[in-house]
Structure 1
């Protein structure tokens, strides 16, 4: 269950990549990584759909623990880390180096985020809710909670309507936290004389934001004995903010290192990427209900995604082409999926459920591979249409305001002509 929301409407697939990530973090590799993670999300939810349950527990469609670990590798924390990294960069540069030109006012930031995610999200919520509540008033509370991003706090309705969108509630909470803490960090750093002191302050803040969810999870699990199925306790921002904190820490680290320090040779970047992926697979494989790996799955996964993103972003100049992993991330098909990943994320679950209820998916567990193929093809088609017809045009609304929140004048010549009459 993931939330692949890109920081801004990305350039269409095929746009030439810059040598390094821009200040807005639009590295082509990140778009490809987002695409791979979105595909993984679809496969995971089809896997869940084909699991059966009885008194002995759950029975997956493929009885192989290694396949199960691979498919059940949750990528939610990758999106949280990536989103926080990209959106915190401008604040980190302003705090550490005084580059405040790239920091937008809070209202501008929130306006751009709103036009990026809300039109498609509200449309999908209303459409899907209406089809499942054909007579009014229906489950009006479910509709209200989804429209206000508060369904993550409802134990019963957290996965209603659009199940994966609980994570958007956390995204919205992060936006509010960032526009509150970002300017505070910039102002606090102005009073510090040395860059080392500014780095220490920002790093300590990120560490504290990471530690607080850890403490909450430990308290809820070990002191209160709350089971992992109490979703609001372990899915709410108080438990899952660690992924965002890790991304903020990555932004601080890369800014502190600058353009030259901390760069990895191709072989070390490959080794670090492989180690991070192996760690994620081992974490997924060892995770069982209520054990240590499951209890602290997401904080641990956030650290491993942090390492993978560092390896992706900090390769030495000129050595990216030598890393096969980066070749996969830059593949046209991966970046194309990354482009429409938000629309794919929004629509894939209702598409899957509609195909299932219409009898267009195999009914037996043995049909799982066929179901994956069918759902992927239909969901990608729907997601692509949704991107170009809804998401992309809505994202263009962000261009109606400049970097300071002022309305853009799209017809200056006409205004001048009127003034001279």
Structure 2
């Protein structure tokens, strides 16, 4: 094969402010999907019929969250590289990430460990693991009502490593110049290594848990969002940028393709519907399909016109923005509330009506999330976000600061 040398892409056009109003609505959809799949599991609706398969695979919402994080959080670092300006301060970035996710998370942890029946007697080690997001690094350490927080632990690992990973990719690929094609190639390598890690974890039964939920297993999901960020900050004249915007105008084309991949993931190719361990091929297949789904769902909301068409306007409308704002709290509180609902009603797991349980959990979760957002999240961000100052103008970082699972 003949090697093709990619010329350096110089003097990129000014990077836009980077505000994507549709993404708030997408966060709301992703969090609702996660609530739905957990309600379906608790009501024994992971069934082999079409409805059961779709409900079981709504964990694709996690892939959407990870791709969103990859896109929004990496973009300020990549934008600085494309413009040849200093990168955001890692200290300011990490401070704002911690301020965004930890206080509300600690409220959920304390509530679950104190009040859910299955957590009575949790020792100091269990408390500490959960408070520092370390519960996925010990086998069978997830507390009742907090089992879903594995994904937040994985997100936190991504947050910590992102500045170093982006800096490493830029150093290896560019040597001082912005070479987006090489950065994309580096991301592809990392995604491939992550899939290899995932396959290894499911091949050797002795190491299946808990490494299957560690960060490398999801490198492709985060990498998909980061790759979109690379393209979004590159010069308009670069051919992949033109292709991206051409494809991005076809929202329903992208989403139809995403639906097709999702339907394939619902088949036996995606592995078991329940918590039965998949084999390596099934695990990798599901991960690749979810990568495609997340990419195709996100693509037209990033590269398409932000307010064109009814769908985009609905995603950017006030109700969707509100649900996007409280989506992190909904994600955090829905499982403790679901467990509490069953405890209060004295119902055994795997009983109940899906629709009733889903609606009760979602509504209670939105109420709790709204209270947390107005009383804790928003006041803390307004008062303390600038304790560690940032060198970039606020518009560049606006969407990145809203990111949370």
1:321 is paired with a residue whose SS is coil
Q: Which residue is 2:34 aligned to?
A: 41
Measured at CA, do residues 383 and 360 of structure 1 come closer, stay the same or move farther in structure 2, by a change above 3 Å?
farther
- With 325-334 and 300-309 compared, the bigger mean Cα shift is at 325-334
Q: How much does 1:189 deviate?
A: 5.8
Change (3 A) 1:268 1:313: same
* Larger Rg belongs to: 1
Structure-2 change in CA distance of 1:240 and 1:359 (3 Å): same
> Deviation string for 1:184-215 (max 9, x for gaps)?
4445566356x5xx123211221121111111
Residue among 164, 172, 184 paired with 1:180: 164
2:209, 2:132 → 1: CA distance? 18
1:12 corresponding residue in structure 2: none
Task: Tell me the C-alpha RMSD between the 2 structures.
Answer: 3.0
1:244 is aligned, of 218, 222, 225, to 222
Q: 1:365 to 1:190 in 2, by over 3 A?
A: closer
State whether structure 2 residue 269 is matched by structure 1 residue 269: no
Q: How many equivalent pairs are there? A: 364
More off after superposition, 281-290 vs 107-116: 281-290
Q: Distance in 2 between matches of 1:258 and 1:298?
A: 31
TM-score (norm 2): 0.80
Q: CA deviation at 1:258?
A: 3.4
SS of 1:149 mapped into structure 2: coil
Q: Please say if 1:203 is aligned against 2:196.
A: no
| Closer, same or farther: CA 188–235 of 1 in aligned 2, 3 Å | closer
In the other structure, the counterpart of 1:383 is: 369
Distance 1:335 1:284 in 2: 29
Change (3 A) 1:144 1:170: same
Q: How big is each residue's C-alpha offset from its partner over 1:158-191, in whole Å with a ceiling of 9 and x where there is no partner?
A: 3545121111111111122112123344455663
1:220 and 1:379, CA in 2 relative to 1: closer, same or farther beyond 3 A? closer
Task: Return the TM-score normalized by structure 1.
Answer: 0.78
Name the residue aligned to 2:385.
Answer: 398
Equivalent position of 2:11 in the other structure: none
**Offset of residue 140 of structure 1:** 2.2
Residue matched to 1:143 = 127
**Helix, strand or coil: the match of 2:246?**
coil
Distance 1:42 1:133, change over 3 A: closer
Give the alignment partner of residue 115 of structure 1, picking from 60, 76, 99: 99
| Mapped contact 1:217–1:239 kept (Cα < 8 A) | yes
Please, which moves more after superposition, 124-133 or 339-348?
Answer: 124-133
- Provide the C-alpha distance between the structure 1 equivalents of 2:386 and 2:336, rounded to a whole number of angstroms: 31
- 1:81 pairs, out of 47, 67, 80, with 67
Listed as ranges, the gaps of 5+ residues in structure 1 are 1-20, 52-59, 406-421
